[in-house]
């Protein structure tokens, strides 16, 4: 269990952060439009935060600012007290905050599952016995231990993504940033990855930042942040964010079908999934007579 | 009238003749009529992509036959070549295949290969750009200066410009945000309405399938497991779930209500369809 006190501790802080690709054209001196602008945001330890927004809204940029892949143009990103601007912090930050990307085939390097998971800790120069322990533990955490000797290319997309997550866990990171981890998966693969992420968050207390286009995934988070044109435009619990259907749609997003159905029926309660929807309808109808 | 695509007894094996031989598609029989809009669903690795790669002869069947517009495509070199023009395939993330220095040239690549004259090529490029929703001002730009969604439209226009009788999309909306997804799905819908062409699409989004398709073909473990109208297929929610698929959230709500004993149909899959049924239930509930 994560206590309220731990939740109050900030693991990553964005202080007025602006970032642009190709900041300045050398010939013309024209400054390009920022991908994120003036973002101030604190991610609490133990939180599961979903980041939503249209393509090009700055979600992936935000994700990559979290572990010093990108350095802010203006402002600071502070990870567990370390500023991502300072080069000597880079390695330390990347051990605290791991990333999982969209395409599982682009992030698996080894020919055997367990070797792939060991790749990170091996690079840190950790002794073999400890690596063995971490790899086993990480693979068990994502329910891939029995597949440890298989070849990654024979795994399903959902299994590959779980191997990628195990690779991050083996680094003993406190926080995982996932950039659309389920975009290329089928419904079962999506469910596997989401369940894994939720379990790591609830049971191991790992902070999760997940960029997604799927509203049914976002409703599983503790907190939903909506981005538009590089800015954070909504920030709250899934109930708070999805209760404003008009606003959510105006930002190019959608609400779950359950939420839309209840709104169309003028049911005032905040409903986020099929089960809640059925419960509300059942209650209003007073059960089957 | 001949079918747009007919497949009889089709099987395809990978690693054929080795101990690792696996059937990617086994004894498939299907018929897609002209003008139909058909969705193909199935879990990853079920054989969907292998199946659609047979539609224009990218893969050769190990057993069985493929007919396009009534012609056996493997009958001769000419019939095979003809099938490539009649059936356009648009792969997943087609924007990765853009390569020319302007969008116009990229869309023109196919028609040029068909040895059409410049006037006809231009006519086709403009028509395809309009159908795919490529903005006229983007035609002279480099495809690499466009946004993700715009690139995808340019790539799709490159297939449309061949004016195929059958257009096959492999997960056309993968990776797009909900707004861009909706626009793309609407674009496919209006393409079919405007051209009357046959459209086949592979999707993992049951909501998109419900919105777009006339008919669904379900592939499971290399075999065709179901074929039927959208309502027929989605009313078999439990079977779909056991195949690693799901049904639209609305259908799930209705199946759960039925389980509780409520008298609601099981073939409801959009919010619009659902509202009157639930209203009826709620009014009944209050009356008691």
Distance from the B114 Cα atom to the nearest Cα atom in chain A, whole angstroms: 33
Digit-coded pLDDT (tens) for A242-279: 999 999 999 999 999 999 999 999 998 889 999 999 99
Give the confidence band of A286 by pLDDT, cuts at 50, 70, 90.
confident
Query: How high is the mean pLDDT of chain A?
Result: 90
Q: What topology is assigned to A4-255 in CATH?
A: Rossmann fold (3.40.50)
B257 to A281: CB separation less than 8 angstroms, yes or no: yes
Identify the burial level of B101 via C-beta atoms within 10 angstroms of its C-beta, where 0-12 means exposed, 13-18 middle and 19 or more buried: exposed
A7: pLDDT strictly greater than 80: no
Contact of A212 with A50, CB cutoff 8 Å: yes
Contact A187 B204 (CB under 8 A): yes
Would you call B248 and A257 a contact, using CB atoms and an 8 Å cutoff?
A: yes
Average pLDDT for A201-208: 94
Handedness of CA B17, B21, B23, B27 (dihedral sign): positive
pLDDT attached to residue B44: 81
Residue A152 contacts residue A113 (beta carbons within 8 Å): yes
Q: Do A256 and B174 touch (CB under 8 A)?
A: no
Nearest residue in chain A measured CA to CA from B93:
A184
Contacts of B252 in chain A (CB under 8 A): 274
Q: What is the pLDDT of residue A29?
A: 66
Enumerate the CATH 3.40.50.300 domain ranges in chain A, comma separated.
4-255
Q: What percent of chain B has pLDDT above 90?
A: 76
pLDDT digits (tens, 9 = 90+) for B156-192: 999 999 999 999 999 999 888 888 899 999 999 999 9
Q: For chain B, how many residues are written?
A: 288
Question: Helix A257-264 and helix B271-287: axis angle, to 10°?
Answer: 50
Q: What is the DSSP string of B190-203?
A: HHHHHH--EEEEE-
Interface of A with B (CB under 8 A): 53-57, 102, 156-158, 180, 183-189, 213, 215-216, 252-254, 256-258, 260-261, 264-265, 273-275, 277-278, 281-282, 284-289
Whether residues A253 and B179 touch (CB distance < 8 A) is answered with: yes
pLDDT of B218 over the 90 cut: yes
Six-digit token string for B166: 């059958």
Report the C-alpha gap between B66 and B63 in whole angstroms.
Answer: 10
Residue A128 has pLDDT above 90, yes or no: yes
Q: Is A254–B178 a contact, with Cβ atoms under 8 angstroms apart?
A: yes
Mutate to test the interface with B, among A53, A285, A288 (most CBs of B within 10 A): A285
Which one of B149, B175, B282 has the shortest CB-CB distance to A284?
Answer: B282
CA dist A204 and A1 (Å) reads 9
**Do A66 and A97 contact (CB within 8 A), yes or no?**
yes
Of residues B244 and B278, more confidence is placed in: B278
Residue B40 or residue B15, greater confidence = B40
- Give A48→chain B minimum CA distance, Å: 21
Grade residue A26 by pLDDT with cuts at 50, 70 and 90. Answer: low
Judge whether A248 and A239 are in contact, CB under 8 Å.
no
Q: Which of A213, A260, A261 lies closest to B177 in CB terms?
A: A213
- With a CB cutoff of 8 Å and minimum separation 6, the contacts of B279 are A265
Length of chain A: 289
Instruction: Quickly state the pLDDT bin for B97 (edges 50, 70, 90).
Output: confident
Which residues in A lie closer than 8 A to residue B182 (C-beta atoms)? Answer: 254
Per-residue pLDDT reduced to its tens digit, B193-208: 999 999 999 999 999 9
CB B166 within 8 A of CB B88: yes
- For A280, phi and psi rounded to 5 degrees? -65, -45
- The answer to whether B234 touches B218, Cβ cutoff 8 Å, is no
Joined tokens for residue B283 = 């009014």
pLDDT, residue B153, reads: 95
What integer best gives the mean pLDDT of chain B?
Answer: 92
Question: What are the backbone angles phi and psi of residue B181, rounded to the nearest 5°?
Answer: -60, -50
CA angle A32, A36, A37 (to 5 degrees): 85
Q: Which of A153, A191, A253, A257 to mutate to test the interface with B (most CBs of B within 10 A)?
A: A257
pLDDT at A3: 45
Q: Which pLDDT band, with edges at 50, 70 and 90, does A287 fall under?
A: confident
Least CB–CB distance from A256: residue in B249, B257, B261:
B249
Percent of chain A with pLDDT over 90: 71
Q: Transcribe A209-277 into DSSP letters.
A: EEE-S-HHHHTTSSEEEEEETTEEEEEE-HHHHHH-HHHHHHTT----HHHHHHHHTT--S---SHHHH
* Closest residue to A186, CB basis, from B180, B244, B253: B244
pLDDT exceeds cutoff 80 at B287: no
Say whether B150 sits in a helix, a strand or coil. helix
Q: Where in chain B is the domain with CATH 3.40.50.300?
A: 5-237
User: For residue B285, what pLDDT band results from cuts at 50, 70 and 90?
Assistant: low
Chain B residues close to A275, C-beta within 8 Å: 256
Please report which confidence band the pLDDT of residue B253 belongs to, taking 50, 70 and 90 as the band edges.
Answer: very high
* pLDDT reported for residue B146: 86
Q: What is the pLDDT averaged over residues B270-288?
A: 81
Question: Is B44 in contact with A186 (CB distance < 8 Å)?
Answer: yes
- Residue A252: which of B147, B177, B256 has the nearest Cβ? B177
| Amino acid A1: pLDDT | 43
| Banded model confidence at residue B45, pLDDT cuts 50, 70, 90 | confident
Strands B198-202, A74-79: parallel, antiparallel or unpaired by DSSP?
Answer: unpaired
CATH class of residue range B5-237:
alpha beta
Q: How confident is the model at residue A25 (pLDDT cuts 50, 70, 90)?
A: low
Any idea which of A63-67, B18-22, B104-108, B212-216 has the lowest mean pLDDT? Answer: B18-22
Q: How far is B73 from chain A (nearest CA, A)?
A: 31
The pLDDT-based confidence of B246 (bands split at 50, 70, 90) is: confident
Residue range B72-85: average pLDDT? 94
> Which ipTM did the prediction report?
0.79
In chain B, what residues touch A189 (CB-CB under 8 Å)? 44
Residue pair A87/A18 in contact (Cβ under 8 Å)? The answer is no
Question: Which of A183, A184, A257 is opposite residue B250, by nearest beta carbon?
Answer: A257
CB A41 within 8 A of CB A61: no
Cβ-defined contact of A261 to B275 (cutoff 8 Å): yes
Is residue B69 scored above 60 in pLDDT? yes
Question: Are the beta carbons of A157 and B149 separated by less than 8 Å?
Answer: no
Is pLDDT at B66 greater than 50 in this prediction?
yes
Q: What is the pTM of this model?
A: 0.85
| Span between the terminal Cα atoms of chain A, in Å | 41
Spatial distance between the Cα atoms of A135 and B204, rounded to a whole number of angstroms? 32
**Tens digits of residue pLDDT in A67-120:** 999 999 999 999 999 999 998 998 899 889 999 998 888 888 899 999 999 998
CB pairs under 8 A between A and B: 114
The Cα–Cα gap between B286 and B288 comes to 5
CB distance B175–A56 less than 8 Å? no
Q: Which residue of A has its CA nearest to B274?
A: A261
pLDDT of residue A22 exceeding 80: no
How much is the average pLDDT of B134-138?
94
DSSP reduced 3-state for A283? helix
CB B247 within 8 A of CB B266: no
Q: Residue with structure tokens 């799709």?
A: B156
Cα gap A255→A158, rounded to integer Å: 24
């Amino acid at each position: 269990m994560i206590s309220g006190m731990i939740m109050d501790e900030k693991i990553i802080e964005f202080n007025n952060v602006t970032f642009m690709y190709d900041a300045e054209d050398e010939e013309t001196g024209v400054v390009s439009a920022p991908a994120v602008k003036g973002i101030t945001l604190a991610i609490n330890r133990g939180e599961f935060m979903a980041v939503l927004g249209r393509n090009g809204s700055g979600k992936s940029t935000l994700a990559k600012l979290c572990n010093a892949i990108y350095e802010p143009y203006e402002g600071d990103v502070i990870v567990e007290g370390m500023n991502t601007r300072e080069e000597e912090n880079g390695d330390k930050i990347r051990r605290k905050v791991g990333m999982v990307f969209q395409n599982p085939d682009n992030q698996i390097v080894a020919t055997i599952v367990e070797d792939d998971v060991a790749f990170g800790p091996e690079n840190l120069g950790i002794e073999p016995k400890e690596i063995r322990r971490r790899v086993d533990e990480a693979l068990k955490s994502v329910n891939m231990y029995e597949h440890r000797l298989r070849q990654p290319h024979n795994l399903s997309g959902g299994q590959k993504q779980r191997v990628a997550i195990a690779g991050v866990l083996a680094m003993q990171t406190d926080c995982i940033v996932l950039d659309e981890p389920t975009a290329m998966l089928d419904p079962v693969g999506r469910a596997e990855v989401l369940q894994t992420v939720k379990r790591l968050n609830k049971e191991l207390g790992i902070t999760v930042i997940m960029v997604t286009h799927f509203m049914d995934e976002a409703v599983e988070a503790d907190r939903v942040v909506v981005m538009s044109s590089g800015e954070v435009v909504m920030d709250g619990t899934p109930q708070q964010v999805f209760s404003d259907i008009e606003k959510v749609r105006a930002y190019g997003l959608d609400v779950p079908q359950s939420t839309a159905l209840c709104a169309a029926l003028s049911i005032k309660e905040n409903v986020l999934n099929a089960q809640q929807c059925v419960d509300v309808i059942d209650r209003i109808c007073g059960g089957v007579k | 009238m001949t079918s747009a695509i007919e497949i009889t007894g089709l099987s395809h094996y990978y690693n054929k003749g080795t101990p690792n031989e696996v059937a990617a598609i086994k004894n498939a029989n299907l018929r897609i009529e002209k003008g139909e809009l058909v969705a193909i669903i199935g879990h990853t690795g079920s054989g969907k992509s292998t199946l659609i790669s047979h539609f224009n002869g990218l893969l050769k069947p190990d057993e069985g036959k493929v007919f396009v517009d009534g012609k056996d495509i493997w009958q001769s070199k000419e019939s095979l070549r003809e099938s490539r023009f009649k059936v356009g395939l648009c792969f997943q993330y087609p924007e990765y295949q853009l390569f020319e220095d302007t969008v116009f040239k990229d869309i023109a690549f196919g028609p040029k290969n068909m040895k059409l004259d410049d006037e006809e090529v231009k006519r086709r490029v403009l028509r395809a750009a309009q159908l795919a929703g490529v903005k006229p001002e983007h035609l002279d730009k480099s495809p690499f200066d466009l946004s993700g969604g715009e690139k995808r439209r340019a790539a799709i226009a490159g297939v449309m410009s061949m004016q195929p009788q059958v257009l096959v999309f492999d997960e056309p909306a993968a990776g797009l945000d909900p707004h861009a997804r909706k626009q793309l799905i609407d674009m496919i819908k209006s393409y079919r309405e405007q051209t009357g062409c046959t459209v086949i699409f592979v999707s993992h989004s049951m909501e998109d399938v419900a919105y777009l398709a006339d008919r669904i073909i379900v592939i499971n473990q290399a075999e065709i497991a179901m074929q039927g109208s959208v309502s027929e297929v989605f009313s078999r929610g439990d079977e779909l779930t056991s195949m690693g698929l799901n049904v639209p959230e609305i259908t799930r709500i209705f199946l759960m209500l039925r389980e509780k004993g409520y008298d609601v149909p099981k073939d409801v899959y959009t919010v619009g369809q659902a509202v009157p049924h639930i209203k009826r239930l709620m009014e009944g509930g209050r009356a008691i």
